[in-house]
Structure 1
Amino acid sequence: MDSNPFTFECHATDGQARAGVFHTPHGPIPTPIFAPVGTQATVKAVTPAQLEELGAHLVLSNTYHLFLRPGPDIVAEMGGLHRFMNWPHPILTDSGGFQVFSLTSMRKLDEDGVTFKSHIDGSMQRLTPEISVDVQQKLGADIIMCFDECASPYDRDYVERAMHRTHRWAERCQQAKTRPDQALFGIVQGGVFPDLRQQSAEWIAAQGFPGHAIGGLSVGETKAEMNHMIEVVNAVLPPEKPRYLMGVGSPEDLIHGIWRGVDIFDCVLPTRLARHHAAMTFSGRLNLMNAVNARDPRPIDENCGCYACRHYTRAYLRHLITAKEILAATLISIHNLYTLEELVRQARQAILEGRYQAFAENFLANYRPQPENKSRPA
């Protein structure tokens, strides 16, 4: 294997938007890219063959959940995540930090790590930077993440403390990592505070990571605040390395993120919406449970080339939903994932052709976003 199996090539830029390729041991990742989330080593309701057909190149799995069940040793014994879940292409694992810190009443934080209560059986568990890296090395993903502390975005004192702890933990993650066939990404924190975001980006960029992630966004701040933080961070992060915006996946957020120089996205949104009967389209969301669809012979989207839209009507999908057939979740998930993969494919082509601004403006002019929750702490 090449001494450095991870290289990033930028093939074109259009403003801050860029089209490139991130090379990994399990194949190239064309960027910008959206990664479906396979939390427990499976993208819910969708098979790997279906993911390949809809054009996915990268899948994310969750360290926290696989740490608890079935456990990293079992995954390692089965040949690692790629063999375990039968996905031969690149895989990214998060560190478990976001899930642990979301267990507000079930965890205790200290400088060394976090002790938390399992949501499965109530047992007490422990994650530290070293344990997180060890688990991810046993899982065997191509891209792994530093263990970080994701703080509420508006509490400046806490955000600053969490940022510095994230930096200290990043150093420990680097020291713990031993596998050369995995790329460890550092994570930028700092809430909604531009000076903290800049400070964190500068520190993380100086550590020599092969790629960088932007964490702590899409956690309650406004869209405008999120986009501003992306701008601040990407003005600092080195352009020769990939940038990953963690946990963001609505169509308009992908468009804005790409516009500001983001390369990699992931989110549970497309499959979660599918299980709640909502379809994503280039014009907005469609609730397939609505009675108006009962006799509608059209596909979800007449301009969509996914398996569901090529073969099934809105009437059939609504029937599956009302009959509580699990095929509904599969077909709508396929459509939603295809929609986001097609969106980043079109965005990439627009960048290569030097017309991304026009592409983005046209998309946003025709897209109806969901109402934004504008409440924020005083």
Structure 2
Amino acid sequence: MGWVMDGLESDSYDRTYGDVRLVRRIFAYFKPQWRPMLVVAAMVILDSVVSAGTPILISRGIDVVASTASSAALWVIALGVLLFYSLGWVSNYYRQTRSAEAVSNVVLKLSEDAFRAVTERDLSFYDEQPSGKIVSRVTSDTTAFGDVVMLVTNLISTLLYVLILFAALFVINVRLAMIVLATVPVIMGLALSFRGVARRVTRNARRVLAEVNALIQESISGIIVAKNFRQEAAVYEGFLKVNRRAYQVNLIRGWVMNTIIPLLETGIGVSVALVIYYGGAAQLRGLVTPGEWFLFVQTVGMIWFPMTSVASFWSQFQDGLSAAERVFSLMDAGPRVIQIASEPVKTLAGRIDFVDVHFSYTGREVVFDGFSLSVA
């Protein structure tokens, strides 16, 4: 696989940040957005409670209807389910709108900071860095950064939802709840072990996207020179080479990201089979009611579907962290040329003398070697 990654080395100013440091810097940008984020947090809690309460209400309704055969109880349960779904719609609406507002403001601020950092870099920085790669960080990476927060809110809502359901399961039947809980470490272990690989392949995908953007921008800006020297074929050949590498890198990323889902679905199938068997046996012995058995069977899918979603979101989450890492690296890049001299200006004689001037940008590409010039 190494041949695919050839040419995807990090830029000279790239840095590697730990997850904790990245999250702290992200939270610093969201601190001014605490009001809409507070609404988002409240809506996340409400949505989790409503989503978890719906199957519990249906389960209790099955037992009530089975024991009383009352149509009035059936209407009450139906209205309760309708109310829960309505509250879920309202909470999700406010969560999405307020999240979009906060994320848009943060992306705007981050783009401004990134562009300000670009304008403050000295000319030696642009001698070594293609402008297309810089543009990719200011535009594409800042947008991908905003996706992290939407994913985090979904993750928090999912985790609260799962915790509420597990609490209800343990209240109903500890043994069946332990069977469901036993597969959690396997699923979480797969998801967490997937984190490092996901970060690496998404970082490479970001780098190759920057290379494609850089090549396109440089080719278009220099198309006059290319046409004057009849080098269109060479320019096109260079694009094909980079484009093939981008295809290969993104193909590997697709393979990696789509591997985790079948593994998790295998765990879901085993969990459902165990719950159906042990729950059915317990119901035949009178240890659980039909409604409780229904709740366990339904809850297995309801719990593992969010867990599977967390794993599928993980690729996008790592993509957002990789984008944030690239933007912060651009912002944290120090100046290559530091002006420290402070020479006093003497009486001006009306002439400028350059005497034996030696100058180079990188130490290898010499611009002036013993240059002398007198301007009167």
Pairwise TM-score range, normalised by the shorter structure:
under 0.3
Structure 1 or 2: more helix by fraction:
2
Structure showing greater radius of gyration is 2
Tell me the TM-score normalized by structure 1.
0.21
Query: Higher relative contact order at CA 8 Å, sep ≥6: structure 1 or structure 2?
Result: 2
Tell me the TM-score normalized by structure 2.
0.21
Structure 1 or 2: more strand by fraction:
1
